[in-house]
Amino acid sequence: MAEVDRIMIEDLGIELLQMMENAGRNLAMLALERFEPASVVVLAGSGGNGGGGIAAARHLSNRGASVAIVVGQDRDRLAQVTTKQLDIAERIGIAILEEPQPAELIVDALIGYSLTGDPRGRKADLIEWANAGSAPILALDTPSGLDVTTGQPANLCISAIATMTIAMPKAGLLGAPQVGELYLADISVPPSVYEGLGFVPFDNPFRRQTVVRLLA
């Protein structure tokens, strides 16, 4: 997926914000269809995963949910695209909280596939908070703390009811109990990208819908 992202941005000129928007919109629609929450708290990390979660917060708010965002990193350490997503969310009136509050659904967008080592600091605290509550957790791309290559959890790992991974499923998600229900979402990667990386024949799963269920 790191190579897919590189090709999309550097070779094809598809902006990271476009991919975040697609991921966020799909995550919001899955959240509404699967959980029907009246209130949602989004736990957002500093990188692309966090930006996708914040985009989802905006789409959820647009559709009538009461949404709050908690950022798992100091704002001056956020990636530029994540900062832009957060600025937009603030401008439309979504609450940005220092500490998480109870909600009917928790969206985990703290750590994506770039996890190295165990979660630490504020991100670790937010993972503990989410797992200790009674609200279901919907994870974006991977439950934070899970190694998507090996399937091994870190010392702290989100335990999700459902995970929406993006573009292609990662090997470590298959069979990991922390994943829960596994869904796959389209972020508009052209089939030619997968074919160029050796996924031949590539059977496009998004011909009729942009989110598909993979595992119960």
For the chain, how many structural domains are there in total?
A: 1
- Note the pLDDT of residue 68: 98
Q: What is the token pair recorded at 146? A: 């899970």
Q: What is the pLDDT of residue 211?
A: 96
The answer to whether residue 26 scores a pLDDT higher than 90 is: yes
Q: Is the pLDDT of residue 112 over 90?
A: no
Is pLDDT above 80 for 216?
Answer: no
pLDDT digits (tens, 9 = 90+) for 141-181: 999 999 999 999 999 999 999 999 998 888 999 999 999 99
Q: 45 exposed, middle or buried (CB, 10 Å; 0-12, 13-18, 19+)?
A: buried
Q: Classify 167 in phi/psi space as left (phi over 0), alpha (psi -120 to 50) or beta.
A: left
Q: Nearest-CA neighbor of 147 among 114, 121, 188, 169?
A: 114
What CATH code is carried by the domain that includes residue 147? 3.40.50.10260
Structure tokens at 39: 């209130």
pLDDT at 1: 81
DSSP class of residue 138 equals E
* Confidence category of residue 200, pLDDT binned at 50, 70, 90: low
- Span 32-61, average pLDDT: 96
pTM, entire model: 0.94
- pLDDT, averaged across the chain: 93
pLDDT over threshold 70, residue 201 = no
Mean pLDDT of 65-73: 95
Sequence-separated (6 or more) residues with CB below 8 Å from residue 213: 181, 182, 183
Strand, helix or coil for residue 162: strand
Of 35-44, 70-79, 111-120, the poorest mean pLDDT is in 111-120
Q: Residue 82: helix, strand or coil by DSSP? A: helix
124: domain range? 2-215
